[in-house]
């Protein structure tokens, strides 16, 4: 595993950020904050999807009043997002939020910045300095001849200097840009400049799937270098998708304990006897809300499936219009094709409660192994070991290259 960069630690409510704490997932509500019930409904959905901290806009008096009702009922800490009006930051703190996000490009008067920082200091509330490539201070834009990593880092450091004047140090920083290489460069530069915890994100990544790819490219690059203490996917989509993507990324990188199924599936080939994509999609839907921290495999054929996915906790491989269930590479049962997904769910729930050894012990594996061997032999007889005719292609390649 890669070594994580050491940073200072702050608390957002009861959630620790930095200092070796688990990397956290953040998102932002898309409802009007004044709509208390609608906002809370979205916050609960975000929390269920793996969100640790949620941001709500505070752009008007009604929003601040809404926060006063939302904060005590929220299952996760609330950060108020402030733009332009520093008095909204003061109102949000009065409402009881657990932290603020300030954009240096929007609140520029030093006396306003220091007034907010002083109040946050007295209340023990953290502030994220949210530098955004799209709202850089014009003076910095002019100084650096455009949007650069150095310009964004200087913007963050200028804000920190204002905070230091009033002895405020409960800080985390983001330097987001929609350009991935620029975003990565800015965070690397910032990581070399300060040990303040960093919030990672590619701003305005866009709708999935392109937005997911773009955000993952930037965020995962930095996480694999040990940079980053909290993350957000900024997608043009339901924010629940942001939280889910963030959680899945951290689980995939081994930075958070798995909460739900890690479903692996073969890409299919000429030997497959089922629509692997359809089975995998139905399995994902079936497990979506199950909260079973298992690795489950969906394989297109019984020839290589159990062997290739032998490390999975549970899997199923298709053969002769039926599914061969296997646990840790051992065949345990045979089910009709139309019962494959239901069988996966039933076995997964048993394994989650009792373990893989108990799952194997509850059946006579010799029966399943015999049936799997029979279907494997039939598939090889019908389609051969080389289902995609690679051997013939290799012969032609060698022949042509030899001429």
pLDDT-derived band at 385 (thresholds 50, 70, 90) equals: low
Whether residue 196 is found in the same domain as residue 276: no
Whether residue 238 is found in the same domain as residue 173: yes
Query: At which of 231, 252, 273 does a domain end?
Result: 252
Residue partners of 395: CB distance under 8 A and separation at least 6: none
Whether residue 273 is found in the same domain as residue 166: no
Residue 388: predicted pLDDT: 57
Distance between alpha carbon 32 and the CA centroid of its chain, in Å? 25
Where do the H-state alpha helices sit in 237-275? 239-252
When computed from its CA atoms, the radius of gyration of the chain, rounded to whole angstroms, is 26
Query: At which of 252, 275, 305 does a domain end?
Result: 252
Question: How many angstroms separate the CA atoms of 354 and 350, rounded?
Answer: 6
Does the structure show a pLDDT above 90 at 396? no
Whether residue 151 is found in the same domain as residue 243: yes
- Kindly state whether residue 353 falls inside one of the protein's structural domains: yes
For the segment 324-340, the average pLDDT, to the nearest whole number, is 89
SS3 for 340?
A: helix
CB atoms within 10 A of CB 145: 8
For the segment 237-264, the average pLDDT, to the nearest whole number, is 92
Strands 78-82 and 99-102: parallel
Question: How many angstroms separate the CA atoms of 360 and 356, rounded?
Answer: 6
Q: Is the dihedral of CA 252, 45, 22, 55 positive or negative?
A: positive
Question: How many angstroms separate the CA atoms of 250 and 245, rounded?
Answer: 9
Per-residue pLDDT of 203-221, as tens digits, reads 999 999 999 999 999 999 9
Per-residue pLDDT of 76-85, as tens digits, reads 999 999 988 9
Q: Which residues pair with 323 in a beta bridge?
A: 318, 335
Both tokens of 181, joined, read 């290489």
What's the first-to-final CA gap in the chain, in angstroms? 48
Does the structure show a pLDDT above 90 at 324? no
What's this model's pTM, rounded to 2 decimal places? 0.83
The whole domain housing 86 covers 10-252
The values of phi and psi at residue 316, to 5°, are -140, 140
pLDDT-derived band at 329 (thresholds 50, 70, 90) equals: confident
Do 304 and 319 touch, CB atoms closer than 8 A?
no
- Kindly state whether residue 1 falls inside one of the protein's structural domains: no
Per-residue pLDDT of 35-67, as tens digits, reads 999 999 999 999 988 999 999 999 999 999 999
Whether residue 220 is found in the same domain as residue 348: no
H/E stretch holding 101: strand 99-102
Into how many domains does the chain fold?
2
């Amino acid at each position: 595993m890669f070594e994580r960069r050491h940073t200072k630690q702050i608390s957002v409510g009861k959630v620790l950020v930095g200092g070796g704490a688990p990397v956290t997932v953040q998102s932002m509500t898309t409802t009007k904050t004044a709509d208390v019930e609608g906002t809370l409904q979205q916050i609960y959905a975000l929390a269920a999807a793996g969100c640790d901290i949620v941001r709500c806009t505070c752009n008007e008096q009604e929003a601040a009043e809404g926060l006063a009702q939302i904060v005590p009922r929220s299952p996760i800490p609330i950060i108020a997002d402030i733009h332009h009006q520093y008095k909204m930051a003061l109102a949000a703190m009065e409402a009881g939020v657990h932290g603020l996000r300030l954009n240096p490009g929007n609140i520029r008067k030093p006396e306003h910045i220091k007034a907010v920082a002083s109040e946050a200091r007295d209340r023990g509330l953290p502030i994220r300095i949210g530098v955004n490539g799209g709202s850089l201070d014009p003076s910095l834009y002019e100084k650096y001849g455009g949007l650069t990593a150095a310009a964004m880092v200087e913007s963050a450091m200028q804000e920190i200097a204002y905070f230091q004047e009033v002895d405020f140090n409960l800080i985390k920083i983001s330097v987001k840009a929609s350009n991935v290489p620029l975003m990565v460069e800015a965070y690397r530069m910032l990581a070399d400049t300060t040990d303040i915890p960093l919030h990672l994100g590619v701003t305005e990544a866009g709708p999935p799937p392109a937005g997911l790819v773009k955000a993952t490219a930037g965020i995962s690059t930095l996480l694999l270098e040990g940079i980053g203490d909290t993350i957000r996917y900024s997608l043009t989509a339901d924010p629940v998708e942001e939280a889910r993507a963030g959680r899945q990324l951290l689980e995939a990188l081994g930075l958070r304990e798995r909460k739900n199924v890690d479903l692996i599936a073969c890409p299919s080939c000429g030997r497959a006897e089922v629509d692997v994509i359809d089975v995998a999609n139905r399995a994902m839907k079936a497990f979506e809300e199950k909260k079973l921290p298992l690795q489950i495999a969906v394989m297109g054929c019984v020839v290589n499936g159990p062997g290739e996915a032998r490390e999975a906790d549970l899997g199923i491989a298709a053969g002769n219009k039926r599914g061969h269930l296997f646990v840790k590479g051992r065949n345990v049962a045979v089910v009709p094709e139309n019962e494959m997904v239901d069988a996966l769910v039933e076995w997964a729930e048993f394994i989650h409660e009792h373990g893989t050894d108990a799952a194997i012990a509850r059946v006579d594996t010799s029966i399943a192994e015999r049936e799997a061997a029979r279907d494997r032999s039939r598939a090889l007889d019908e389609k051969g070991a080389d289902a995609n005719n690679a051997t013939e292609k290799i012969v032609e390649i060698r022949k042509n290259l030899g001429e």
